[in-house]
Amino acid sequence: MNKLKTVYTCQNCGAESPKWIGRCPSCDQWNTYVEEIVASTSKSASPPLTSAGSPPLRLSEIADLHLDRLDTGIAEFNRVLGGGLVPGSLVLIGGEPGIGKSTLVLQLALSLKGKKILYASGEESLQQIKLRANRLKMESKGSWFLAETSLEMVMHTVEQEKPDILVVDSIQTMATDKIESSPGSVAQVRECTAVLLRHAKKYHMTVILIGHINKEGNLAGPKVLEHIVDTVIQFEGDNRHYFRVLRSTKNRFGSTAELGIFEMRQNGLVEVPNPSDHLLSGDGDPVSGTAIAATIEGVRPFLLEIQSLVSSAAYGMPQRSSTGFDLRRLNMLLAVLEKRAGFKLTSRDVFLNVAGGLRITDPATDLAVLVAILSSSLDLAVDHHTCFTGEAGLTGEVRAVSRIEQRIAEAARLGFRRMFIPRYNKGFDTSAYPLEIIRVARVEEVFRKLFGNK
Ligand code: TYD
Ligand code: MG
């Protein structure tokens, strides 16, 4: 009879301890240790990948890896994967509930041609999947569906059907009999993933895992999982907005700089190949408080609108609130405005919003943020044909940005007439672009050129 062994496992990082502890010594989280029963045979449940005794090889003796990537039929998804799915690899897609993970993989399952796909759902019944497929108005003969939470049953089906792609929705609902812990616990998730990994390599099958995200925005529990899989993809966006962004945070077969942009519509996710076209509110009279930033997220340049509202603080402490832009950076920019450009905003509320519900991390957005705030504060509008790119330094200098030419080219493509860029971005021919380029060294210079000496 197997002797039962219990360990305490940190549900955040997977660290183990023989006794309960309040604070995890490896990830510093509190109250994350949960007792888990592990059958003493579980060690043998994960045999090594190579058989014992394989000799080491010289580089020249190792056969080249030919990546026959599978076209997913969704261009934005291919882009994030680095060109398509790699056979035998494990891809983890993480995201908050309701963001559209199941929709994305179902669309993938239904749009892949000539490949056999097994979609194992532990979250939804077959009827619910059918309902979603009807909503997507898609049909496919190459995909098979299974509502199952037992990993052994899923593996049994895999052995019989030998699919090219296995989708597991979600890894937190799967459980193996080998371990007594409840589904979703670190031990279960880790063991299930290890079994899936072995099958992926054995059958040369791509496995797509769906993982939930906890309230801190991490993949729930299994940090350990991120080490096992080949590719980690985050699906993010604001539930109330229609934009969804797919970005990879780890990719053994491609770069992590790529970004895929989708729009959630009534009948599923629609790719957005030219995000700028959707992110600019366009014509109409210019209103104060908006400025257009020429940003680059991933490797794609796009222009988007930054909106700001500055108003008198009604009660005591003024509020600073920001959606889609780092709040600490906003505070830093407000301090720069005050100290370097002499604008007093200490007794005023400042709200900032990035259009489309996108989250922007490109520091070159700073200049547009500063202009939007000032535009709202002075109640003076900036015309629609002007855009900005530049990082603001603490002394009020406008610092050089990366890939300036790509940004200018995108602004030119969209018909902008005027663009403020950092003076220190040198070494290219501005006359090659059909728009007026204004080089600036300091933020005050931008303000003077836009608003005069108000
Ligand atoms: P879902 O894919 O179930 O999200 P997840 O698997 O990440 O939890 O779907 C998320 C939301 O998308 C759901 O609230 C309904 C909405 N939705 C649409 O707007 N259009 C559609 O065509 C579909 C299928 C879903
Ligand atoms: Mg789902």
Beta carbons within 8 Å of 234's beta carbon, 6+ residues apart: 93, 94, 95, 246, 247, 248, 249
Which of the residue ranges 28-42, 128-142, 317-331 has the most confident prediction, judged by mean pLDDT? 317-331
Architecture per CATH, 69-273:
3-Layer(aba) Sandwich (3.40)
**Class for domain 277-451, per CATH?**
alpha beta
Which of the residue ranges 136-150, 215-229, 341-355, 364-378 has the most confident prediction, judged by mean pLDDT? 364-378
Q: How many CB atoms lie within 10 A of CB 50?
A: 7
Tell how far the Cα of 97 is from the centroid of ligand 2, in angstroms: 7
Structure tokens at 270: 């629609």
In this predicted structure, what is the pLDDT of residue 230?
Answer: 92
Helix (H) or strand (E) holding 275: helix 275-279
Lowest mean pLDDT among 72-76, 210-214, 351-355: 210-214
Pairwise CA distance, residues 161 & 168, whole Å: 15
Beta carbons within 8 Å of 227's beta carbon, 6+ residues apart: none
In this predicted structure, what is the pLDDT of residue 4?
Answer: 67
The residue to which tokens 């261009």 are assigned: 75
Residue type, 258: E
Please work out whether the CB of residue 264 comes within 6 Å of at least one atom of ligand 1: yes
Q: Is the pLDDT of residue 42 over 50?
A: no
Neighbours of ion ligand 2 (CB under 5 A): 102
Please work out whether the CB of residue 143 comes within 6 Å of at least one atom of ligand 1: no
Tell how far the Cα of 281 is from the centroid of ligand 2, in angstroms: 32
Classify residue 267 by its DSSP letter. Answer: T
Pairwise CA distance, residues 94 & 86, whole Å: 18
Domain chopping of the chain, boundaries: 3-42, 69-273, 277-451
Please work out whether the CB of residue 357 comes within 6 Å of at least one atom of ligand 1: no
Intra-chain end-to-end CA distance of the chain, in Å? 84
Q: How many CB atoms lie within 10 A of CB 393?
A: 15
Pairwise CA distance, residues 342 & 349, whole Å: 17
In this predicted structure, what is the pLDDT of residue 44?
Answer: 46
Q: Is the pLDDT of residue 39 over 70?
A: no
Mean pLDDT confidence for 318-330: 92
Pairwise CA distance, residues 329 & 319, whole Å: 15
Phi-psi region of 204 (alpha: psi -120 to 50; beta: other; left: phi over 0): left
Whether cis (ω within 30° of 0) applies to the bond prior to 102 is: no
The answer to whether 277 touches 372, Cβ cutoff 8 Å, is no
Helix (H) or strand (E) holding 239: none
The neighbouring-strand residues paired with 437 are: 419
Reported pTM: 0.75
